[in-house]
Amino acid sequence: MTSTDQEGPVAEVRGAPSEPPEHRILRAAAQLAGTAILAGSIATVIGFVLTFGVPVLIFVFMAFPWGFVPLAATSGGLAAGASVVVVRALGWSSLVERLLVPLSAAAGSVPVLLSVSALRWGIPPWMWAAWIVVAVAAALYGYRRTLRHPLAEWRPVLVRLLVGVGLAIGVSAFFVIPFDRSWDGAVPALLVLGGVILLSGILISLGPFRSRTVAGIAWAGLALLVTSVVAVMLGVSLQSEFAREVAPPPPTLWAEDGADRDPRTDLPRDPAEPAVPPPTLEEGRAQFAALAAATIDAAGPDARWRDQPGAVVREVDCGDGTTMLRIDAEFAMGEITDTTTDEQDRTVTEANLAAADRIVLAWSAAGLGTPEVLHGEPILGGAAMSSVDFAKVDFAFGVAQPRIEGRCLPGD
């Protein structure tokens, strides 16, 4: 069977004017691609709408990534359309064409799949098979529609292609881009692009216009609509970007070295910040010893300390001839194990919180000033105890962690 045998049902339309064969080949390929892309986009939109009418379907919609369907249909349809052009241009048989359409759709979907996988930080292995199946199914659907109902004009082909591409871009941008990046400019820009392409296809479907006046009004309306959508999307993007820039930086974990960052601002510590001159190392040792004793007394006799004797004062070399004092203790008011009950866990946790409150009050009475609540936690400054930079109580699972960070003090 030759190419002439298989071109008949596809390209020859009764009553159609004579035209070069390459026009028929290109139109058939564009019709195949447009039909595949439009089918994938419409299927995704219908699936999304059905989840609102039938809530139970939301689990099906979320389990299968429907947002990938338009991308798979687009890559498969374009690759299959390209294979049709190659086969017919080279005069190969219809059997080769039928075999090459699904194979090219599967192969052509792989590069897009790799790109989406990188954007989504990897996708499950089963998604590879699902993606390729969707791409092949969309390409075969477009191919069969092209064989059964070949179009003899370019206008319906372009309408189908533009509307499908516009829907695919918009739907894919909405579903594929990760949520935490959705409004960083990517989604608005892609929605505008998809909307412009879709509207162009709809406008082409309304023509040819009866007069230049009607055509001018139609194109002016399209330009006004596109400009409005672009302005709204641009405003949303700029507002989101401006809000992100002016927002305070999120709190981070405590730095490993207390001398590196200020816990009250979470910014790098300024060595020239303290206005009160630091005491001598001997005076700092006396202050930390008093704080350690106050910590142990406030926790009470039921506290089980990680170290002995409870709150241990450690000395850290600052590297410039000065020394920083530090208390990094840990205790629990009971034991939480896998065999204890929830009531026991709650009792221990509540006791840890109560002991932490007593410790903060004891620190304040010892001269660390009034606690200031930042990020939901009380933090005390040096106040009368100028050897202390800050003091706070952290919590881990089942334990409380009193922590006092000192300033770098000159030696004796």
pLDDT at 380: 77
Q: Give the per-residue pLDDT at 124.
A: 67
Query: What are 368's two structure tokens?
Result: 């660390």
Neighbours of 302 (CB within 10 A): 11
Domain boundary among 200, 222, 246: 246
pLDDT at 83: 94
Domain with 135, as residue range(s), is: 3-246
Q: What is the mean pLDDT of the chain?
A: 75
pLDDT band at residue 128 using 50, 70 and 90 as cut-offs: confident
Backbone phi, then psi, for 340, in 5-degree steps? -80, 160
d(CA 142, CA 73): 10
Domain count, the chain: 2
Report if residue 254 sits inside a domain.
no
In a domain, 377, yes or no: yes
The pLDDT of residue 136 is above 90: yes
Among 208-217, 293-302, 310-319, the range scoring the smallest mean pLDDT is 208-217
pTM exceeding the 0.95 threshold for the entire prediction: no
Residue 338 pLDDT > 70: no
Q: Do 289 and 342 share a domain, yes or no?
A: yes
Of the two residues 127 and 6, the one the predictor is more confident about is 127
- Which range, 60-74, 223-237, 354-368, is most confident? 354-368
Domain assignment present for residue 324? The answer is yes
* pLDDT reported for residue 191: 73
pLDDT at 28: 92
205 & 88 share domain: yes
Residue 104, pLDDT > 60, answer yes
154 and 241: one domain? yes
Q: What is the model's pLDDT at position 192?
A: 73
Supply angle C-alpha 39, 41, 47, rounded to 5: 100
- Per-residue model confidence as pLDDT tens digits over 244-273: 444 444 443 333 444 455 554 454 554 444
Q: Give yes or no for residue 399 having a pLDDT over 70.
A: yes
Final residue before a domain boundary, out of 246, 275, 295: 246
Bigger pLDDT: 151 vs 235: 151
Domain assignment present for 402: yes
The percentage of the chain sitting over the pLDDT mark of 90, rounded to a whole number, equals 13
The Cα 33–Cα 38 span in angstroms is 8
Contact 87, 98 (CB under 8 A): no
Same-domain pairing of 232 and 341: no
Answer yes or no: do 167 and 210 share one domain.
yes
- Domain match, 168 and 286 both: no
Identify whether 11 is part of a domain. yes
Q: How confident is the model at residue 140 (pLDDT cuts 50, 70, 90)?
A: very high
In a shared domain, residues 305 and 195? no
> In the prediction, which pLDDT does 190 show?
74
Q: Are residues 281 and 333 in the same domain?
A: yes
Check residue 297 and give its pLDDT. Answer: 87
- Looking at the chain, the whole-number percentage of residues with pLDDT higher than 70 is 67
Contact yes or no for 51/61 (Cβ under 8 A): yes
- 253: in domain: no
Residues 309 and 379 in one domain: yes
Q: Are 204 and 272 found together in one domain?
A: no
Residue 256 in domain:
no
Q: Are 283 and 412 spatial neighbours (Cβ–Cβ below 8 Å)?
A: no
Phi-psi region of 68 (alpha: psi -120 to 50; beta: other; left: phi over 0): alpha
Could you give the C-alpha distances from 24 to 8, 16, 92, 150, in angstroms and in order?
11, 11, 16, 9
pLDDT-derived band at 406 (thresholds 50, 70, 90) equals confident
Q: What is the pLDDT of residues 16-64, one digit of tens each?
A: 457 788 889 999 999 999 999 999 888 888 877 777 677 666 666 655 6
Q: Which of 201, 222, 246 is a domain's end point?
A: 246
Same domain, 123 and 266: no
Q: Is residue 267 part of a domain?
A: yes
CATH number, position 383: 3.30.2030
**Cβ-defined contacts of 348-355 (< 8 Å, 24+):** 348/398, 349/398, 351/302, 352/395, 352/398, 352/399, 352/400, 353/395, 353/400, 355/298, 355/299, 355/300, 355/303, 355/331, 355/400
At residue 343 the predicted structure's pLDDT band, cuts being 50, 70 and 90, is low
One domain, residues 309 and 214: no
